[in-house]
Amino acid sequence: MKRADRARVTTFVAVAPRDAFAVFTEETDLWWRKGPRFRFSSETGVIRFEGKEGGRLVEKFANGAEFVAGKILVWEPGHRLVFEWRSRTFAPNDRTEVEILFEPMNEGTQVTLEHRGWASLPDDHPVRHGVGSGQAFTDMIGLWWGDLATSYRAFVGARRP
């Protein structure tokens, strides 16, 4: 079976690309769903991006501990964000990559997220939850990001005057 490597989701928000980027990166903890399915730990912390290239995507917990989910590779406000993505089950050298494009469209922004690099992880990696490395796995990742994209879109929509 061919190893599927990437999942892609797209949504539309009725704000300018710069605003869409700002909400995505500055208000992450407000739109990112809560609970163990969506957070990096069963204990819910605060998720945030450190707003710069070389910054981190991090979840910080009430006890002061934090989990670094990845390093920001590209930070282009209003245009593009690329960051490493790591699960708690990743070994030190395991990494995948997430790229988000913010493109003007009609009276708003098309936001396209691609999570790639899964082919570098073995079929029996714990992050695969027993699904393996085929299309079923990237479909599962796409649905996961799709849930988050829906939450993001609803949050942006609720903020509009």
111-153 per-position pLDDT tens digit: 999 999 998 888 888 888 887 777 888 899 999 999 999 999 9
Question: Does some domain include residue 137?
Answer: yes
Tell me how many domains the chain contains: 1
Query: For residue 161, how far is the Cα from the chain centroid?
Result: 26
Instruction: Return the exposure string of 104-130: e unless at least 16 CB atoms fall within 10 Å of the residue's CB, then b.
Output: eeeebbbbebbbbebeebeeebebbee
* Structure confidence at residue 1 (pLDDT): 41
Question: Does some domain include residue 1?
Answer: no
* Structure confidence at residue 5 (pLDDT): 86
C-beta separation of 83 from 97 below 8 A: yes
Question: Does some domain include residue 48?
Answer: yes
Residue-number span of the structural domain to which 102 is assigned: 6-159
Tell me, what amino acid is at 76?
E
Question: Does some domain include residue 117?
Answer: yes
Task: List residues bridging with 11 in a β-sheet.
Answer: 111
Question: Does some domain include residue 86?
Answer: yes
C-beta separation of 54 from 71 below 8 A: yes
The domain that contains 47 carries what CATH number? 3.30.530.20
* Structure confidence at residue 68 (pLDDT): 94
pTM: 0.92
Sorted by sequence, the CB contacts under 8 Å of residue 65 that are 6+ apart come out as none
Q: Angle at CA 76, nearest 5°, toward 56 and 5?
A: 65
Q: Which helix (H) or strand (E) holds 86?
A: none
List pLDDT tens digits, range 73-120: 999 999 999 999 998 889 988 999 999 999 999 999 999 999 999 988
Choose between 95 and 160: higher pLDDT: 95
Question: Does some domain include residue 46?
Answer: yes
Question: Does some domain include residue 72?
Answer: yes
* Structure confidence at residue 3 (pLDDT): 56
* Structure confidence at residue 40 (pLDDT): 75
Question: Does some domain include residue 22?
Answer: yes
